[in-house]
């Protein structure tokens, strides 16, 4: 089965033909070479995630292998806080979640998506709201109920003084209500992307 990941979905929103080529005719798909700036952003993204994990000292990292989805299910059963929780649905959508945390008060799960920038972006190339909406949809179609959803980014006013203070390094934005406003639209776009990948011609 051809799975649609968050990265694939983002590419679909930008260029449907590009996604089709990437999935159906990879030999014809030309992927642009990463610039040094993009490489630095990716590296910084991983570093930001490592600092963010400090908010969840008991969190467990899911291994990046074929057994990731099964390991995620086992950790969910234990109500553990999970880094890189992995979900695959029968419909063919796939997502890895930065942080998934069980909320004892609401008895639901909280979703955290961490960005290495200092603001929430909603432009075509960096639509953070569509990113997190996609993840919420994947999780809930896998049978888990999401309570609150957070987009987390760096605090643009943070000034380092000695050791990094991760408590003031980040800004938490609860976007649960915002996701509801675009959830139907996002589900329709996901369905259209999956239909595209079933076609033999782009």
Specify the higher pLDDT residue, 102 or 43. 102
Specify the range with the lowest mean pLDDT, choosing from 12-16, 27-31, 161-165.
27-31
Q: Mean of the per-residue pLDDT values for the chain?
A: 90
Domain 6-198 = CATH 3.30.450? no
Q: What is the mean pLDDT of residues 170-177?
A: 96
Q: What is the mean pLDDT of residues 48-69?
A: 93
pLDDT value at residue 38 = 46
Q: What is the mean pLDDT of residues 145-158?
A: 94
- pLDDT tens digit sequence for 120-138: 999 988 899 999 999 999 9
- Of the candidates 91, 67, 69, the residue with the CA atom closest to the CA atom of residue 1: 91
Q: What is the mean pLDDT of residues 38-55?
A: 72
pLDDT value at residue 201 = 75
Q: Enter the pTM of the model.
A: 0.89
If you search the block for the tokens 């000292």, which residue do you land on? 57
- pLDDT tens digit sequence for 104-116: 999 999 999 999 8
């Amino acid at each position: 089965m051809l799975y649609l990941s968050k990265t694939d979905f983002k590419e679909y929103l930008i260029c449907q033909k590009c996604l089709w080529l990437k999935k159906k005719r990879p030999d014809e798909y030309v992927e642009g070479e990463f610039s040094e700036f993009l490489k630095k952003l990716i590296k910084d993204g991983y570093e930001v995630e490592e600092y963010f994990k400090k908010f969840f000292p008991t969190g467990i990292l899911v291994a990046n292998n074929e057994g990731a989805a099964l390991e995620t299910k086992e950790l969910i059963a234990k109500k553990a806080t999970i880094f890189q929780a992995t979900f695959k649905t029968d419909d063919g959508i796939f997502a890895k979640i930065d942080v998934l945390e069980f909320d004892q008060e609401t008895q639901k799960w909280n979703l955290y998506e961490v960005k290495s920038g200092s603001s929430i972006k909603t432009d075509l190339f960096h639509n953070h709201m569509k990113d997190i909406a996609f993840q919420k949809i994947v999780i809930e179609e896998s049978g888990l109920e999401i309570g609150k959803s957070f987009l987390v980014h760096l605090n643009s006013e943070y000034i380092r003084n000695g050791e990094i203070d991760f408590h003031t390094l980040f800004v938490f934005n609860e976007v649960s209500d915002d996701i509801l406003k675009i959830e139907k639209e996002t589900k329709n776009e996901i369905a259209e992307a999956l239909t595209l990948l079933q076609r033999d011609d782009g």
